Amino acid sequence: MLSQIGLEADTISATFRARKCAKLELSGAPVAWIRRRRGINLLVKPKILLVCDSRENVEETLSQAVDSHQVVVVQNPMRALALLGRERFAAVYVTSEYLQEALEIGRLLQNEQILDGMADGVVLLDSENTIQWGNRRLCEWSGLESVEGMNFYTVLGSPEILGPDFCPFHTALATAQGTMSTLRGADNRYFHIHAAPVREVGSPPRHLIVTVRDVTGEMQQQQKLASIHQAGIELADLTPDELFQMTVSERIELLKVNILHHTKDLLNFHVVEIRLLDQKTNRLEPLLSEGMEPEAADREMYAQPQNNGVTGFVAATGKSYLCEDTTEDPLYLAGARDAKSSLTVPLVLHDEVIGTFNVESPEPRAFSESDLQFLEIFGRDVAMALNTLELLVAEKAGTAAESCEAIHSAVALPVDEILNEAVNVMERYIGHEPEVVQRLQHILRNARDIKQVIQNVGQKMAPAQAHPQALKIEERPALRGRRILVADADESVRSAAHALLERYGCVVETAHYGAEAIYMVRGVTDGGYDVLIADIRLPDMTGYEFMLKLQEIIDPVPLVLMTGFGHDPGHSIVKARQAGLQAVLYKPFRLDQLLTTVEQIIGGEGGRMKDEG
């Protein structure tokens, strides 16, 4: 049985009605078209499209139309749909066995005009991946007038399937479930596809509705983000050998070169300025400047929201700033020559602003929100790289300092022993053997020089600028170069005196008992000690007795006595205070108390040898 379906029938979709077809009235005279070919007018028979098993089954039914029309027979509605997309037909006839399928396809595509206007591509595929119908978007992407009858992958330029499903169409037909995948074309375009099977009653699906979305922009943005992240990792990525061979300044220069390289090649920014925030002064110190005017690069700037340009505002607030037109922005201060727009982000580490990253362009509104996002991400990596470099520098400096301290602590007390022995021997020969005394004084000078050389080497190997802010030792200018003698029977006290005071540039020597300390004072030939620190109970005398003996040699006596809070049966502290004692340290004392007390004694200009007048 044959169902005759006119183009105006409700049971056929808008696709069957509207795709370049002309209406045919079978009961009346046939309709014809006149085509002009090579200047000759030819009468061409109108076409009738038959959807049936074979031509023989319907010729009798269409006997009236066969003579006056050209009959085209196809064996499935999908093929009919493809032909309707490319050719003109006066009418469409569908036999009953294909009627239900034709109605389903018609319903799927009944809003063809809507599908044609979609931003995504939409196609109807058969089991051979042949396009039976496609909307206008896919034609635009492929540059073809029509895609019907073509292989889907061929239309998209035989793209590479990136997954997750590497056979999405086969999977969708086999499982009767939707599936998706991503394709990459030869021109580096990316498409996301979703294939949904067309369900058929009583039989497995044979067709797919496939939506195609151009995700090139999204994929390129993801790739750029990944590249920025990788670039950030590589900024301060140095091997241990490279770190060992490079100086601090060389590593900083390498970091600056890497930052500039990635900023230009990856972000496509060619005018760059990076400043680091000095937490103490609030000043923004220039680290890197490329393309900025010299006066702008050298401009003194502070992290303040007013009168310090966009950079000062960003550093003060921790907020990124997009200046779309420099001529209209009240915050902008001239940077690059003829700059018309700028983008500035804070360098943030552990929620703390450590600097700013600024780029500029000669074009107004040259930067987008994506540029802002990219620069913020790269800025975080730059902050991490700066921190890593600082930590590596500090680690190397700390290691050097620890090595020097270890060497110094190992030799400090033994050198003191040499000094102690030398002054003890010298005491016996003073007034008797001038040559021996002279030799012993030479030994004393050499021993002291050894200690000074070790201390100087340590300072050179661990320069102050190598340390991060948190690890820098507080400057105590009054202590640097001052000579201090510590007298105590406890070796741990003598060792601690070296470790604590020499950290601030003091020259420390120690003695075990009072008489030895007196010999040390007498044996100094180049200016004497600036401060003497002694325990209140030395093995051979009290602190008060020690003070009285010192008063015979120097005046005034720059003495600090150390005592606990226990009972002082000899009342040494009271007597010493009455005799002019300048300071007392009560054990245990803090480092800052020791340093402050020593500074107070030094402020009194210490003591001078009496024989010096």
220 within domain boundaries:
no
Domain shared by 234 and 98, yes or no: no
Name every residue whose Cβ is closer than 8 Å to that of residue 338 and which is 6 or more positions away in sequence: 362
Element (H, E) at 67: helix 63-68
Give the closest residue to 481 by CA, choosing from 442, 412, 529, 414. 529
Domain shared by 76 and 121, yes or no: no
* Res 98: pLDDT: 62
Domain shared by 205 and 280, yes or no: no
Give the closest residue to 293 by CA, choosing from 350, 348, 334. 334
Domain shared by 118 and 101, yes or no: no
Q: Which residue has the tokens 């009961």?
A: 27
Contact, 401 vs 456, CB < 8 A? no
Report the C-alpha gap between 413 and 447 in whole angstroms: 11
Give per-residue burial for 509-531: e unless 16+ CB within 10 Å, then b: bbbbbbbbbbbbbbbbeeebbbb
* Res 360: pLDDT: 92
**Domain-ending residue, one of 328, 359, 394:** 394
**Domain-ending residue, one of 394, 420, 445:** 394
Identify the CATH number of the domain in which residue 194 sits. Answer: 3.30.450.20
Domain shared by 388 and 365, yes or no: yes
Domain shared by 98 and 119, yes or no: no
* Res 592: pLDDT: 86
Identify the CATH number of the domain in which residue 238 sits. Answer: 3.30.450.40
Residues in the chain: 613
Please give the structure tokens belonging to residue 67: 């003579």
Strands (E), 225-362: 271-277, 284-290, 321-323, 341-349, 352-361
Domain shared by 243 and 358, yes or no: yes
Element (H, E) at 32: none
* Res 463: pLDDT: 45
Give per-residue burial for 387-409: e unless 16+ CB within 10 Å, then b: bebbebbbebbbebbeebbeebe
Domain shared by 376 and 285, yes or no: yes
Identify the CATH number of the domain in which residue 532 sits. Answer: 3.40.50.2300
Domain shared by 553 and 577, yes or no: yes
Contact, 22 vs 46, CB < 8 A? yes
* Res 440: pLDDT: 73
Question: Distance from first CA to last CA of the chain, Å, rounded?
Answer: 140
Which domain does 490 fall in, by range? 401-612
- What secondary structure letter does DSSP report for 384? H
Helix axes 216-235, 248-265, angle to 10 degrees: 170
Domain shared by 210 and 229, yes or no: no
**Domain-ending residue, one of 108, 143, 159:** 108
Pairing mode, if any, of strands 341-349 and 352-361?
antiparallel
Report the C-alpha gap between 93 and 58 in whole angstroms: 10
What Cα–Cα distance (Å) separates residue 453 from each residue in 19, 158, 460, 574?
Answer: 97, 75, 11, 41
219 within domain boundaries:
no
Measured in degrees and rounded to the nearest 5, phi and psi for residue 605 equal 70, 10
Domain shared by 101 and 149, yes or no: no
Report the C-alpha gap between 157 and 154 in whole angstroms: 5
Mean pLDDT by 10 residues, the chain (613 residues): 36 35 33 39 67 61 65 70 66 66 55 61 88 83 84 89 89 90 86 86 81 83 69 60 62 74 78 89 89 91 93 94 92 91 91 91 89 84 74 51 59 76 73 71 73 62 43 73 91 84 86 92 82 92 92 90 73 87 85 90 65 45
* Res 485: pLDDT: 93
**What is the tally of structural domains in the chain?**
4
Domain shared by 384 and 417, yes or no: no
* Res 238: pLDDT: 57
Q: Which residue has the tokens 């995948």?
A: 181
Report the C-alpha gap between 169 and 24 in whole angstroms: 38
